[in-house]
Amino acid sequence: MPLTPADVHNVAFSKPPIGKRGYNEDEVDQFLDLVEQELGRLVEENDDLRARADELASDLESAKKSGGSAAQESAPAAKPEPKPAAAAAGATPSLASAKAGEGEGELANQETHLRAARVLAMAQEMADRLTGEAKKESDGLVTKARTDSDKLVGDARSESDKLVGDAKTEADRLLSDAKAKSEAIVKDAEGKSEAQIRDAQSKADALQADAERKHTEIMATINQQRGVLEGRIDQLRTFEKQYRSRLTAYLESQLSELGKTGSAEPADAPATGRAAASTTPSSTSTSTSTSTTTKTDGGAGTQGGSHSADK
Per residue in 123-180, pLDDT tens? 667 667 766 776 676 577 667 766 776 777 677 778 778 888 888 898 899 989 998 9
**In whole angstroms, how far apart are CA 198 and each of 60, 190, 211?**
140, 10, 19
Q: What is the pLDDT of residues 174-225, one digit of tens each?
A: 989 998 988 888 777 676 777 778 888 889 999 999 999 999 999 999 999 9
Mean pLDDT, the chain, rounded, equals 71
- The pTM assigned to this predicted structure is 0.24
Domain ranges of the chain: 24-310
Q: How far apart are CA 6 and CA 301, in angstroms?
A: 56
Dihedrals φ, ψ of 81, to 5°? -70, -30
Question: How many Cα atoms are found within 13 Å in the side-chain-facing hemisphere of 31?
Answer: 21
